[in-house]
Amino acid sequence: MKIALAQLNFVIGDFEGNYTKMAKAVTQAKKLQADIICFPELAVTGYPPRDFLEFKNFVQGAIDTVDKLALLADDIAIVVGAPSINPIVEGKDLYNSAYFLAEKSIKHITHKALLPTYDIFDEYRYFEPATSFSTVTYKGKKIALSICEDIWNIKNENPLYTICPLDEVADEKPDFIINISASPFSFNHAEARLKIVQENAKRYHAPLFYVNHVGAQTEIIFAGGSVVANQNGDIYEEMVFFEEQLQVFDLEDIIKSKRNKIQKKNKIELIYRALVTGLSDYFQKLGFKKAILGLSGGIDSAIVAVLASDALGADNVRCILMPSQYSSDHSINDARILAENLGCQYDIVPIESVYNGFMGELDIHFSGLPFSLAEENLQARIRGTLLMAFSNKFGNILLNTSNKSEAAVGYGTLYGDMNGGLSVIGDLYKTEVFKLAHYINREKEIIPNNTIVKPPSAELRPDQKDSDSLPDYDILDAILFEYIENQKGPQEIENLGFDPKLVARILRMVNRNEFKRYQMPPVLRVSDKAFGMGRRMPIVGRYLS
Amino acid sequence: MKIALAQLNFVIGDFEGNYTKMAKAVTQAKKLQADIICFPELAVTGYPPRDFLEFKNFVQGAIDTVDKLALLADDIAIVVGAPSINPIVEGKDLYNSAYFLAEKSIKHITHKALLPTYDIFDEYRYFEPATSFSTVTYKGKKIALSICEDIWNIKNENPLYTICPLDEVADEKPDFIINISASPFSFNHAEARLKIVQENAKRYHAPLFYVNHVGAQTEIIFAGGSVVANQNGDIYEEMVFFEEQLQVFDLEDIIKSKRNKIQKKNKIELIYRALVTGLSDYFQKLGFKKAILGLSGGIDSAIVAVLASDALGADNVRCILMPSQYSSDHSINDARILAENLGCQYDIVPIESVYNGFMGELDIHFSGLPFSLAEENLQARIRGTLLMAFSNKFGNILLNTSNKSEAAVGYGTLYGDMNGGLSVIGDLYKTEVFKLAHYINREKEIIPNNTIVKPPSAELRPDQKDSDSLPDYDILDAILFEYIENQKGPQEIENLGFDPKLVARILRMVNRNEFKRYQMPPVLRVSDKAFGMGRRMPIVGRYLS
């Protein structure tokens, strides 16, 4: 028996487009003599469809698409993820289902039992969990269908859940297992996923076919990396990362094989590719081609320019250099060299005269008051406004260049440098930004070395440096990581050897700046805990603040 | 037996402050010879604590506070909501619990069984549902404790849930029921709540004491309106709306009484009071006093100025009038009259010279291209930037003045008029804004009549009117309501008699402008479906767009 895994990039709500893409894959799989083709979880709708699932019209569109797909299931069976309607009045209206389509009809439906409702996931908002389980038999083989999280509770050891769906069908002794997934990328997750596939295959002594989404849905990035393991847990194949791919596997070969073919996983390289994927899909799925960004001569905007040039082509990236009276000479020079290295268009738009124009109107109202945050932020907002003027005039999407460290402590200007349709590096701490810069320059100096080695500065007043108001990034990032990723309290962080006063100050800054992050653009997620939909915090609160 | 209901306004995460407030109420209740005092759901943490619940340190703070409260429970019993730890490994780590404190210790804990996970609610993200149920006996009375949603599944007729918690203890024949709630205001909800309390009391033939939060937590507003019903479902008392109150009720009186004392509920008045509460608590809980807003002469900013003056005092509201070459004479005049009627400080800051300054820098880049959206948005962004300059200089929080109709279709400028710390009327359709204006002017002309009767305009180019690019608000709002509140699809909306092309166009506008709403400030929620945390939509998608 031959099983095809179709690791594809879907568009949320584009039933027609998603159908066409799947139909092509079915044709190709038939040519390659596959008996079964598997598409990922909720492939029909794209993942996550979010509150579109509350629209009957949307759900009907998905179900109609499944019916259309069924007509293609003649001498091939199709496994595909889509919502299905819960016929029982009690409980949520929908299931998150794996449809087994054969002989031009729906032969079997398996519902998801373990519904992730944490971090970026809201599945219990929409779906009723499965309570009954059975295998499906096709061409003499007994198949256990499962959906994503359903394989993540081996031996019931995951504290979040109380049942293990595959245990429920283990007595039926399935010949193999199919898992259709929508498992978002984070740089820690790829290894974990491989291990869980191996453990499941071993536990049920059955080959496991795991198919994942690839491509980005706004902030959520899917890496692909679909996996096939044999009954002993050897990895027969780990499919490519960040690319669409259809592969056909022979069950008999897999059972006999002992090979262990996995993708190499370099953390910084994976992050780089994830961000390029995130950028490229954001533009493609919105129907835009061109990006714009402010290039300051600093490392953050430099990295974003490099990523954008890779994702969209340097021709489609326009850089605006906006020096002020506080800009150092090297800044404009470093920015210019980078744009030239990349081959991007760049324009220089000085902000001093506009700034003076604003101050001319404001002087009478500000009279006698010293230069303060208001004047600093004004410069950032003039830049943000200029960028949006270009964006509106020429149809370029503005890229946000904030990093995670500054987003965390609120070191950025709302409606100024926090502007943008997409935050490209908002899930990278400053120390990771430096690592990414070195990765980018690994073969030649693309980002001017001066940009990397000079002390970070917002250049909003004379001789300003980040270190004037923030601790060293090594220390800042370490504390932020313990608070944000590890959810440690102040005492626990102090116990790691950090200065109590500093810990208190930083945690307070994080909590007090929730109002800024609320209005931040969506952040491409590459860590286990990104700002945005995966971290939901009160704005008005008094905890540690 | 005497039961006190303490309808109070808590601060999220302020364990010390919340404790002090509750301790005072306990003292007062003791003086009034109450046997039991009841505080609302999650009173200790404030509601909703959101992802703070994922911090062990936060949960411990809450539990320590319950222990401190227990020490006050000497000759009075205390019922209070707080998280409790699930001792079983399997399942979520926490319960959402009602603690029964007596004899200086925790006598009983009831866990919430029905965990709302829809709209603004994320309870299953944090809590394990209760599976066992029992009453607690105090001074010879059997009491059924329940938490909010637990009373919302009478006869198991709520399709969301499969059990009815009070049915599980009905055999024990409780003498009365206590329900501690965190039930947010929406203008449709107040009536529904009254009915559900009555039905529960009748069904179990037991008096019901329902205590709710009052006050706002960023966008979520609690009205109070705590209720006591007798065993026949007669309303003994509906407590005040939008005010803190402690009341003591005599069980024997309630059992004998047939009175039906409810608050009058005028929809527009309730909305008005909800918005004032939302504004006032946002400032108070953040520790700010002063607001600023741009006053255009239009109805939206006029309403916000009135609400802010009521909530914060006219002395604390500063209005900035920012005319451009496209502003009509009446606009500046109408704005000025309103500010004078309210007694707010106002300043006039013309934007023409700053606009010309921007265009001076941009001309070379825009050369030859006609006046377009870029120049329109530029004006809005200059205004947004000026307002933020005042905000930063003087410590006033900028109030956003967008309404729900324009937020829905994207008729607003990101980083311009969409700026602000809080969206005051972003949950009111334009037609509702007009109703609110008439309500405000019911006794005398506070908002100049001209502001109400003139055709709405953004005044960003000569003779612009909203109706140039949008249908009449009556029609627009009706279609938006069917799509947003009623979640109808295009065909269903057409079937109501609307033009198919118009429906398609409006729905497309709504979906395509998700990127703008993502960066909008939090919106004070007064309807059943507000933009923000209660409506979670993909940005990159192709459904109806």
Asked whether B104 and B96 are in contact (CB, 8 A), the reply is no
Q: How many CA atoms are closer than 13 Å to the CA of A352, on its beta-carbon side?
A: 8
Asked whether B217 and A538 are in contact (CB, 8 A), the reply is yes
Q: What is the pLDDT of residues B49-70, one digit of tens each?
A: 999 999 999 999 999 999 999 9
SS3 string, B294-353, reads: ECCCCHHHHHHHHHHHHHHCHHHEEEEECCCCCCCHHHHHHHHHHHHHHCCEEEECCCHH
When pLDDT is cut at 50, 70 and 90, the band that residue A260 belongs to is confident
pLDDT of res. A155: 87
Q: How many CA atoms are closer than 13 Å to the CA of B385, on its beta-carbon side?
A: 34
| Phi (first) and psi of residue B514, to 5 degrees | -60, -35
Q: What are the residue ranges spanned by the domains of chain A? A: 2-265, 282-467
Which residues of B fall within a CB distance of 8 Å from A495?
none
Report the alpha-carbon distance of residue B352 to residue B358 in Å, rounded. 10
pLDDT higher than threshold 90 for residue B173: yes
pLDDT higher than threshold 90 for residue A263: no
Task: Provide the token pair at A187.
Answer: 């740089």
Task: Provide the token pair at B153.
Answer: 């599944």
Calculate mean pLDDT across residues B423-441. 98
Q: What is the pLDDT of residues B18-55, one digit of tens each?
A: 999 999 999 999 999 999 999 999 999 999 999 999 99
ipTM of the complex: 0.96
Q: What is the pLDDT of residues B249-261, one digit of tens each?
A: 999 999 999 888 8
Q: Residue A419's closest chain B neighbor by CA?
A: B415
Residue tagged 């039961």 (tokens): B3
DSSP classification of residue B514: H
pLDDT of res. A2: 98
A490: nearest CB among B57, B373, B415 = B57
Q: Which helix (H) or strand (E) holds B293?
A: strand B291-294
pLDDT of res. B157: 86
Select the CATH number that applies to the domain covering A282-467 from these four: 3.40.50.1100, 3.50.50.60, 3.40.50.620, 2.40.50.140. 3.40.50.620
A542: nearest CB among B12, B522, B538 = B12
pLDDT of res. A157: 86
pLDDT of res. B132: 93
Q: What is the pLDDT of residues B222-267, one digit of tens each?
A: 999 999 999 999 999 999 999 999 999 999 999 999 888 888 889 9
From the centroid of its chain, how far is CA A129?
25
Report the alpha-carbon distance of residue B42 to residue B290 in Å, rounded. 30
User: What percent of chain A lies above the pLDDT cut of 90?
Assistant: 92
Report the alpha-carbon distance of residue A256 to residue A251 in Å, rounded. 9
pLDDT higher than threshold 90 for residue B469: no
Which residues of B fall within a CB distance of 8 Å from A55?
487-489
pLDDT of res. A259: 87
When pLDDT is cut at 50, 70 and 90, the band that residue A516 belongs to is very high
Q: What is the pLDDT of residues A416-425, one digit of tens each?
A: 999 999 999 9
Is position A148 annotated as part of the catalytic site? yes
Count of CB atoms situated within 10 Å of the CB of B211: 29
Which residues of A fall within a CB distance of 8 Å from B57?
488-492
Q: Which of A153-162, A272-281, B468-477, B502-511 has the lowest mean pLDDT?
A: A153-162
Calculate mean pLDDT across residues A449-461. 93
A545 in helix, strand or coil? coil
When pLDDT is cut at 50, 70 and 90, the band that residue A34 belongs to is very high
Calculate mean pLDDT across residues A237-262. 95
Judged on CB neighbours under 10 Å (0-12, 13-18, 19+), A430 is: buried
Residue A90 and residue B17: Cβ atoms within 8 Å?
A: no
Report the alpha-carbon distance of residue A398 to residue A318 in Å, rounded. 10
Count Cβ–Cβ pairs < 8 Å, chain A vs chain B: 282
Q: What is the pLDDT of residues B360-398, one digit of tens each?
A: 999 999 988 999 999 999 999 999 999 999 999 999 999
Is position A485 annotated as part of the catalytic site? no
Residue B389 and residue A52: Cβ atoms within 8 Å?
A: no
Q: Mean pLDDT of all residues in chain A?
A: 96
pLDDT of res. B483: 98
SS3 string, B259-290, reads: CCCCCCCCHHHHHHHHHHHHHHHHHHHHCCCC
Report the alpha-carbon distance of residue A528 to residue A535 in Å, rounded. 10
User: What percent of chain A lies above the pLDDT cut of 70?
Assistant: 100
Q: Rounded to a whole number, what is the distance in Å from the CA of A180 to chain B's nearest CA?
A: 21
pLDDT higher than threshold 90 for residue A373: yes
Q: Crossing angle of helices A267-286/A299-312, nearest 10°?
A: 60
Q: Which of A185-194, A436-445, B364-373, B518-527 has the lowest mean pLDDT?
A: A185-194
Report the alpha-carbon distance of residue A209 to residue B354 in Å, rounded. 62
Asked whether A33 and A249 are in contact (CB, 8 A), the reply is no
Task: Provide the token pair at A284.
Answer: 């493609």
Q: What is the pLDDT of residues B153-171, one digit of tens each?
A: 998 888 889 899 999 999 9
When pLDDT is cut at 50, 70 and 90, the band that residue A407 belongs to is very high
A187 in helix, strand or coil? coil
From the centroid of its chain, how far is CA A350?
35
Q: Rounded to a whole number, what is the distance in Å from the CA of A132 to chain B's nearest CA?
A: 16
Calculate mean pLDDT across residues A148-167. 92
Domain B2-265, CATH: 3.60.110.10
pLDDT of res. A367: 86
**Which CA distances in Å does B504 have to A34, A257, B511, B543?**
41, 55, 11, 11
Strand partners, B127: B94
B510: closest CA among B405, B433, B379?
B405
From the centroid of its chain, how far is CA A22?
23
User: What percent of chain B lies above the pLDDT cut of 70?
Assistant: 100
Active-site residue, selected from the candidate residues A21, A38, A41, A237:
A41
Residue tagged 């959101």 (tokens): B50
Residue B218 and residue A538: Cβ atoms within 8 Å?
A: yes
Residue A55 and residue B156: Cβ atoms within 8 Å?
A: no
Q: Rounded to a whole number, what is the distance in Å from the CA of A459 to chain B's nearest CA?
A: 18
Which residues of A fall within a CB distance of 8 Å from B347?
365
Which residues of A fall within a CB distance of 8 Å from B17?
542
Strands A77-85 and A36-38: parallel
**Which CA distances in Å does B415 have to A236, B17, B300, B400, B406?**
51, 36, 18, 11, 15
Please state whether the peptide bond connecting residue B48 to the residue before it is cis, i.e. omega within 30 degrees of 0. Answer: yes
B218: nearest CB among A50, A218, A539 = A539
Domain B289-467+513-518, CATH: 3.40.50.620
Report the alpha-carbon distance of residue B529 to residue B514 in Å, rounded. 15
pLDDT of res. B142: 98
Q: What is the pLDDT of residues A463-511, one digit of tens each?
A: 899 888 899 999 999 999 999 999 999 999 999 999 999 999 999 999 9
